[in-house]
């Protein structure tokens, strides 16, 4: 970046900084969201909720299928 370009775009520096930080946050969140260990812990928690009677069998099966698909890489988890 040249001196003149740098000076002309200086007012945009805060915006570029916010965009850069936002991109890093999204990358970190996606990495955690797709982490197999996180998906397995969600499955374990889901099983505990079913055993405790906090969710119905239908809810359990739907969520379990979604998490297993995400774990296998077929769909991104929510």
Q: What is the pTM of this model?
A: 0.58
Q: What is the average pLDDT across 11-36?
A: 86
CA angle 38, 31, 75 (to 5 degrees): 75
Model confidence over 41-64: pLDDT tens digits? Answer: 999 999 999 999 999 999 999 999
Residues 6+ apart with CB under 8 A from 31: none
d(CA 26, CA 73): 19
Question: Would you list the domain boundaries of the chain?
Answer: 13-72
């Amino acid at each position: 970046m040249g001196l003149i370009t740098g000076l002309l775009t200086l007012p945009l520096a805060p915006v570029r900084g916010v965009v850069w930080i936002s991109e890093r946050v999204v990358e970190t969140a996606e990495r955690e969201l797709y982490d197999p260990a996180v998906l397995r812990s969600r499955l374990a928690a889901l099983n505990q909720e079913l055993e405790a009677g906090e969710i119905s069998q239908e809810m359990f099966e739907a969520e379990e299928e979604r998490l297993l698909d995400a774990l296998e890489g077929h769909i991104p988890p929510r």
